[in-house]
Amino acid sequence: MRIAIVGGGILGTAHADEAIRRGHEVVHLEREPEARGATVRNFGLVWVSGRAEHELDAALRSRELWADLAARVPAIGFRPAGSLTLLRTPEEVAVAEEVLARPDADARGFTLLDPGRVRGVNPALRGRYLAGLHCSRDGAVESRVTLPAIRAHLEASGRYTFHASTEAREVASDGTGVHIRDDRGRTFDADLAIVCPGATLGGLARDLAGDLPLRRVRLQMMQTAPLGESLTTAIADGDSLRYYPGFAGDALEALKAAQPQAPTAAAHRMQLLCVQRLHGGLTIGDTHEYDEPFTFDVDEAPYQHLTSVMEELLGRKLPPIVQRWAGVYSQHLDPGQLVHRGQPAAGIWVVAGPGGRGMTLGPALAEQTAEQLGL
């Protein structure tokens, strides 16, 4: 088949890779010269540890697919390095102990480590904490280089064409197939179109499918200069227990009752996540803002909070902050849904809203789409 994909983020690119692997021809349209949305404004984390029960199989499958992709495209920088959620209070440790007693603990690769064993896994963590919840299933990719690297690999197939700076204005189908008109008056013909609009829920996406069952979420992050030593795993703090649904339970409710978040963390719905880039710097975040219209400012208070927490865990000063940014992603309104996948017309599908899980779930979501569509 000839498949047209609209949207050059991780979801669109994962669908392109899946289609090429299955022997199809792909024409891929991206309105910007390069994807600039949440796909490149993230940690690059493949995050299994805190996924809800209904997400776990997809997350584990996606991690397998990332490892397979890394064998084909080493430049994505996939590292199956795992993560450590560092616990600083007895209440946080109790949440980890409850999670470890669940039947899926082994599937998630969970182990509870005392501080000495934490430092054995990640010697850079010389700060203050009571324990660390180790997840061996977590991984990371280099988010800012992954998409170009995958596209270069796909182009070598001879069945893939990428059109940058090309905005799809209209997608329509008739008895002969699907026809996409772009902002330069060109028409691209295909047997099937998959539209992955990311967080752009108006325009083409609304024309095709109306108001999608999605909301937008804004986040703030930052990047440091090189740390000067290896941070061998991704890092999370105890606030991530509140954010990820896989930690829900009685112990978490007790934690919330006994241990309020720091005011800045509560006001900005924060958790600490940190991953070291291949160049040695640390990507650190993040915040969650749900009420639109979003501000165009980046607030300093969350950065100060993240810096203080990370320095407490490292037991040293952070390197200078060299970049700060904000991003927006789309999220399904039903937390039980991994993504919105709808067919507004024959041969046309809209896939959107993984909700901050695009890097984690992208390859598995693309595989699910291919199976559903019989590709």
The answer to whether 349 touches 368, Cβ cutoff 8 Å, is no
> Rounded to an integer, what distance in angstroms lies between the CA atom of residue 247 and that of residue 100?
10
- Residue 193 vs residues 19, 109, 269, 331: alpha-carbon distances, Å: 12, 38, 37, 22
- Terminal C-alpha separation, the chain: 8
> Rounded to an integer, what distance in angstroms lies between the CA atom of residue 185 and that of residue 340?
29
Spans of all domains in the chain: 1-79+140-213+336-375, 83-136+215-332
Task: Enter the DSSP assignment of 319.
Answer: P
The answer to whether 218 touches 331, Cβ cutoff 8 Å, is no
CATH architecture assigned to 1-79+140-213+336-375: 3-Layer(bba) Sandwich (3.50)
Q: Where are the beta strands (DSSP E) in the chain?
A: 2-6, 25-29, 45-46, 83-87, 110-113, 131-135, 139-140, 160-163, 168-174, 177-182, 187-190, 192-195, 214-224, 234-237, 273-276, 282-285, 321-332, 340-345, 348-352
Flag whether pLDDT at 175 surpasses 90: no
Residues 6+ apart with CB under 8 A from 148: 34
The answer to whether 114 touches 303, Cβ cutoff 8 Å, is no
Confidence of residue 38 (pLDDT cuts 50, 70, 90): confident
Question: β-pairing, 348-352 with 192-195?
Answer: parallel
pLDDT tens, position by position, 317-341: 999 999 999 999 999 999 999 999 9
> Rounded to an integer, what distance in angstroms lies between the CA atom of residue 346 and that of residue 276?
44
Average pLDDT score over residue span 274-295: 96
Q: Pick from 99, 132, 88: which is nearest to 113 by CA?
A: 132
Residues 6+ apart with CB under 8 A from 71: none
Task: For the sheet with 234-237, list strands across it.
Answer: 110-113, 131-135, 83-87, 234-237, 273-276, 282-285, 214-224, 321-332
Report the SS3 class of residue 136. coil
Average pLDDT score over residue span 278-306: 95
- Residue 89 vs residues 79, 204, 266, 338, 348: alpha-carbon distances, Å: 30, 48, 17, 32, 51
Flag whether pLDDT at 63 surpasses 90: yes
- Residue 157 vs residues 22, 24, 145, 331, 371: alpha-carbon distances, Å: 12, 10, 20, 33, 22
Q: State the DSSP string of 35-61.
A: --STTTSS--EE--TT--HHHHHHHHH
Q: What is the CATH class of 83-136+215-332? A: alpha beta
Confidence of residue 124 (pLDDT cuts 50, 70, 90): very high
pLDDT tens, position by position, 84-118: 999 999 999 999 999 999 999 999 999 999 999 99
pLDDT tens, position by position, 225-242: 999 999 999 999 999 999
Average pLDDT score over residue span 192-206: 96
Average pLDDT score over residue span 352-359: 93
Question: β-pairing, 234-237 with 160-163?
Answer: unpaired
Report the SS3 class of residue 134. strand
pLDDT of residue 39: 86
Confidence of residue 367 (pLDDT cuts 50, 70, 90): very high
- Residue 288 vs residues 116, 203, 219, 248: alpha-carbon distances, Å: 33, 25, 5, 19
